[in-house]
Structure 1
Amino acid sequence: MIYNIAMVSDYFYPQPGGIESHMYQLAQQLINLGHHVIIITHAYGDRTGIRYLTNGLKAYYIPAFVLYRNTTFPALWAQFPILRQILIRENIHIVHGHASLSSLCLECILHARTMGLRTVFTDHSLFGFADAGSILGNKLLKFCLSDIGHVICVSHTCKENTVLRASLDPSNVSVIPNAVLSPNFMPDPSKASKEFITIVVISRLYANKGADLLSVVIPKICQRHPMVRFIVAGSGPKEIDLEQMRERYQLQERVQLLGSVRHEDVRNLMVKGQIYLHPTLTEAFGTVLVEAASCGLLVVTTKVGGIPEVLPPHMTVYSQPSENDLVDAVSEAIEIVQENRFHINPRRKIDPYEFHRQIEKMYQWSDVAQRTLRVYNSIDTETLHEPLVNRLTRYYGCGTWAGKLFILVIIVDCLLYYILEWLYPRSQIDSAPMWPRKTTKSNSASYTND
């Protein structure tokens, strides 16, 4: 069956990141398999309206108030009219939301179920249970996923976290990891310095990504290893801390701060180093680790979240998320690189091209797309048009008081949907033309819209 799929999230290009890359690459693979895919996200500056990306991928940048870290304000019903217009206009069968902190994603999933559409949610992150923000976020996630068709997580650790946070049935949650476009991350050892050992860091500079730990670790490593140089790419509120650290320890010649970089420039940056450092405090998967290993770098990372599931042991040096452990782990990696450079009985062999070949076999977007399609096919279509009382029963189980509030929200959502159906009938909404798909018949190229 050919599906019309809407992928929804607050996080998409031009903002760089793992979720953004995941959505784009998965959409491209599904398009190559003959499906129609659109992206729904919020406007980024002057990037508003409809934009066409590679291979006919259509992105809707809808106007919305951005609250924090490119997440829209949770307005609940404010976006329903425009989301309904898009879903009807594109004849969408499946709404696939990404990221549990994306208000736009959760709202669209809620409205899609009211419209009788299939829904899928992919969680890319780990969150706690104790602080006020986590408690509120988990309750909202439980509400929005109470009536979900299926849930996908990017690692087994992420699955355990999501099942507990949203009180989900584990049998309704699948694990499909991220992948990497291997040809875009070919190793090139000739680009790395022969005089120095270069450590590359590419990350959003936030506290949860270990930016505070990085500010403390870099001076100690530079003091212990005079031949080491750092290249740090990324932006965020902790960027000023790194700049102050560099000034305080006079490391201008040894620490290069590049700020935000485009994803297409990541490979050219990685091949300048021999070691990739990832000092994160929490991570569900870590796509950048796969990209670094594909480029032939030895990866030093903290042993948290789903990271131990990502790479085989011979590609990584693990550390606890603490200052001294991370310095020791980086020092061990530096010794391994030197042993390979001077052929002094290395404790482990670093072959960049062998790393790349192994990653190419392990992580492929075509495999991710096929497994995602199996998830789409597994959704029970009998529940799409079930009586409203069945939906309300599931929401009622979200809590003594919260359940009653959620039932009220769903009733209002249904009433608003019927009002919109009356004010703006489907018959008056023009269907969007499908992007022509290239097919081959009798050794000649033709185009079709079927």
Structure 2
Amino acid sequence: MDEQKRLRILMVSDFFYPNFGGVESHIYYLSQCLLKLGHKVVVMTHAYGKRSGVRYMTGGLKVYYVPWRPFLMQNTLPTLYGTLPIIRTILGRERISVVHGHQAFSTFCHEALMHARTMGYKTVFTDHSLYGFADVGSIHMNKVLQFTLADVDQAICVSHTSKENTVLRSGIPPNKVFVVPNAVDTAMFTPAPNRLSCDEIIIVVISRLVYRKGADLLVEVIPEVCRLYSNVSCMDSVFGKLEAWFIVDNGRIK
């Protein structure tokens, strides 16, 4: 690729591997695709246990695990200017041209975008989740988002509903927001060569058990489906705050 067209991108978020989730997977696979196109990609996140310092992943993806410890839901403590020295060092060392922050409630994301714009870098923000307007947490988060997105160059949302939600919450002009829908790479999922049973329908649920992911709806739907259809079995592979009381046994929630 022509060096003038080659971007040097810094992905920033509190959420990255070895933690699991949609944001983590999104950042990883987006980075891999950009690397295949010839761009330079670096990821910045906080340390996870003993995973600290600089690590390399598939395709030469360089990851900075900054020695900041999370204090709540994998988020680091907001410091505003505490991350400025390390962000400035990474931007200069890697000769970054674009800073791409992920997730509205990531402390690293907000601070990196703010510092990058202060130093004149191009910035992009991707919002991965819908958020409310009425509760105290949402009101606080939306004010922070308005502050951060007041000066970003572009924003990306993972659905048209998410775009409407982000525009309303942050006040960013709609013409700055683009939609890149979430998708499933079907090449990574193949059916079993031999079907186990033609008489039984197995429903597999793989999700985080949090309210935003519809855990409350799942609790109501599973027993009803199993009551209506005797040949349905439910399997769960779930984790999250509600995992302790969400155990499926023959259609019953225990």
Does TM-score exceed 0.5, indicating one fold?
Answer: yes
For the 8 Å contact 2:219–2:253, the answer to whether it is kept is: no
Residue in structure 2 matched with residue 169 of structure 1 by the alignment: 173
In the alignment, the residues of structure 2 paired with residue 80 and residue 191 of structure 1 have an alpha-carbon distance, to the nearest angstrom, of 55
Q: Secondary structure at the match of 1:78?
A: coil
String of CA shifts for 1:283-314, please: whole Å, max 9, x gaps. Answer: xxxxxxxxxxxxxxxxxxxxxxxxxxxxxxxx
String of CA shifts for 1:304-361, please: whole Å, max 9, x gaps. Answer: xxxxxxxxxxxxxxxxxxxxxxxxxxxxxxxxxxxxxxxxxxxxxxxxxxxxxxxxxx
Question: CA 1:126/1:69 → structure 2, altered by over 3 Å: closer, same or farther?
Answer: same
For the 8 Å contact 2:246–2:253, the answer to whether it is kept is: no
Q: Which stretch of the first structure deviates more once superposed, 203-212 or 132-141?
A: 203-212
**Which of 219, 226, 229 in structure 1 is aligned with 2:230?**
226
User: How many corresponding residue pairs?
Assistant: 250
In the alignment, the residues of structure 1 paired with residue 73 and residue 149 of structure 2 have an alpha-carbon distance, to the nearest angstrom, of 23
Which protein is richer in helix relative to its size?
1
**Which of 87, 91, 100 in structure 1 is aligned with 2:91?**
87
Pair 1:24-2:28 in alignment: yes
Q: Percent identity, please.
A: 51
Q: Secondary structure at the match of 1:237?
A: coil
Alpha-carbon deviation of 1:213?
A: 2.9
In the alignment, the residues of structure 2 paired with residue 221 and residue 147 of structure 1 have an alpha-carbon distance, to the nearest angstrom, of 48
Residue in structure 1 matched with residue 221 of structure 2 by the alignment: 217
The 4+ residue runs of structure 1 with deviation greater than 4 A are 253-257
Alpha-carbon deviation of 1:195?
A: 3.7
Question: CA 1:69/1:193 → structure 2, altered by over 3 Å: closer, same or farther?
Answer: farther
Pair 1:185-2:189 in alignment: yes
TM-score scaled by structure 2? 0.92
RCO greater where, 1 or 2, for CA within 8 Å and sep 6 or more?
Answer: 1
Q: Secondary structure at the match of 1:222?
A: helix
Structure 1: give runs of 5+ residues left out of the alignment: 258-450
Question: CA 1:35/1:81 → structure 2, altered by over 3 Å: closer, same or farther?
Answer: same
Pair 1:71-2:75 in alignment: yes
Counterpart residue identity of residue 76, structure 2 = T
Structure 2: give runs of 5+ residues left out of the alignment: none
Which protein is richer in strand relative to its size?
2
Residue in structure 2 matched with residue 8 of structure 1 by the alignment: 12
Alpha-carbon deviation of 1:166?
A: 0.8
In the alignment, the residues of structure 2 paired with residue 178 and residue 221 of structure 1 have an alpha-carbon distance, to the nearest angstrom, of 27
Counterpart residue identity of residue 139, structure 1 = K
Alpha-carbon deviation of 1:235?
A: 0.5
For the 8 Å contact 2:75–2:106, the answer to whether it is kept is: yes
Alpha-carbon deviation of 1:255?
A: 7.5
For the 8 Å contact 2:48–2:69, the answer to whether it is kept is: no
Q: How does 1:215-364 map to 2 (within 5 A)?
A: 215-243=219-247, 246=248, 251=249
Alpha-carbon deviation of 1:36?
A: 0.4
Q: Give the aligned CA root-mean-square deviation in angstroms.
A: 2.0
Counterpart residue identity of residue 32, structure 2 = Q
Alpha-carbon deviation of 1:138?
A: 0.5
Counterpart residue identity of residue 230, structure 2 = P
Larger C-alpha radius of gyration, 1 or 2?
Answer: 1
In the alignment, the residues of structure 2 paired with residue 236 and residue 17 of structure 1 have an alpha-carbon distance, to the nearest angstrom, of 11
Q: How does 1:200-211 map to 2 (within 5 A)?
A: 200-211=204-215
